Structure 1
Amino acid sequence: MQVLGIVAVFAAVGAVAGVVWEWLWDAPVGVAYQDQWFLEPAGPDYAFSGTGWYVVVALVAGALTAFALGWWWPRHEVASLAAIVVGSVLAGWVMFRVGHSLGPQDPRVLAAGKADFTAIPSDLTLAGVDGEPRLFRLDSAAMAAFPIGAMIASVYVFAVATGRRSGRRSGRRKPAVETPPAG
């Protein structure tokens, strides 16, 4: 049940992160020319803004979600870690789908039949994604941002902060082997 809960939380956070991604992003504007769309002005700094914001939002959302789930739902670390991996990949995909669907339509489709030099905003997508990304194939390196953020937080919670759950709050550790009293 814990595994399904973790995956479900990640999917929900991915949807919210997609809304945040679309909200933060400013659509660069291009023009239609001879039934094709061209980014104007062209350049990587204009075309990269969607990918850049995706990475920032996904890293933060993945890290905060994994940290919260690992801290407040600390049982079964191995199963939780596996669920965090699956859930964070799913969340990255959901984030893309939600953000992309909220953003403007594909400008290449809109440019067909428009008068030359008609301004058309870009769609919200990621660098390297050709069409819609498939769930089990990372079309863009940016799609790894959600799992990377989640894994960084998971390593901290499960490896560094485990003392809070193991009964070592007093600072005294139980010996690994009990020795009989002398005497």
Structure 2
Amino acid sequence: MSGQLSHPEPIESEPRADRPARRRLLADILAILATSLVVGVVAGFVWERIWTPPTGAAFQGKWILDGDGLPKDFSSTGIYVLVAVVAGLLVGTVTSLAFDHDEVVTLAAIVVGSLVATAVMWWVGTTLGPPDPAVLAKTADDFEPIVGDLGVSGKGAFCALPFGAVLSAAAVFFFKPPRRGPGPR
């Protein structure tokens, strides 16, 4: 068969020049995820430390909030949202400024990282906080004081950290001057 090569050249699927750029991008993604994980741990610790547990007592095997504890019962969710938004703004701003080689990949990593940070923040906070008062009340004497546990009411509060992260990253990408360098931008 004329016109065909008898020994075709192997086709390289990825140019060698792109490999360092891909490695750098992968390192950026891993750094963003690691940063988000650390921020989640710190935010969970802060959430638990600044929260004041609601007070109540055991009565007939159930936990009942007292007059002072009732207003504090909602504070855990409010404080969670406040700490989560600040943590999200921090992680979004820092990571989008530090890792700007590919804004779309950076933003995607920030979204995933903020979801990880959200779960870690909740887990750390609830693990450090007091145990479930309903469980304690089952075996407690009547009128024995018991403090409430740390938790989040509703699923909407879990959007706070990702919202803050995406908002700040978008602001950084929007207001930051474009990089000058080789190739189209």
TM (normalized to structure 2)?
Answer: 0.80
SS in 1 for 2:139: coil
TM-superposition CA deviations, 1:98-152 (whole Å, max 9, x none): 0000000000000012111111000000113xxxxxxxxxxx1111110011011
Specify the code of the residue in structure 2 equivalent to 1:150.
Answer: A
Using the alignment, how far apart are the partners of 2:147 and 2:133 within structure 1? 7
Name the structure 1 match of 2:120: 94
SS in 2 for 1:115: coil
Name the structure 2 match of 1:137: none
CA apart distance, 1:41: 2.1
**Runs of 4+ with >6 A deviation:** none
Larger radius of gyration: 2
Moved more, 38-47 or 1-10: 38-47
Specify the code of the residue in structure 1 equivalent to 2:180.
Answer: G
Change (3 A) 1:44 1:116: closer
Give the aligned length: 156
Name the structure 1 match of 2:180: 167
Name the structure 2 match of 1:54: 80
Change (3 A) 1:23 1:89: same
SS in 2 for 1:112: helix
CA apart distance, 1:45: 3.0
Using the alignment, how far apart are the partners of 2:56 and 2:71 within structure 1? 14
Name the structure 2 match of 1:113: 139
Name the structure 1 match of 2:151: 125
Using the alignment, how far apart are the partners of 2:92 and 2:125 within structure 1? 21
CA apart distance, 1:43: 7.7
Name the structure 1 match of 2:19: none
Structure 2 residue ranges without an equivalent (≥5): 1-26
Name the structure 2 match of 1:15: 41
Name the structure 2 match of 1:155: 170
SS in 1 for 2:94: helix
Contact 2:57 2:63 in 1 (8 A): yes
Change (3 A) 1:141 1:42: farther
TM (normalized to structure 1)?
Answer: 0.81
Name the structure 1 match of 2:158: 143
Structure 1 residue ranges without an equivalent (≥5): 129-139, 169-175, 177-183
**Higher helix proportion:** 2
CA apart distance, 1:25: 0.2
Provide the identity percentage: 43
2:56 to 30, 36, 39: 30
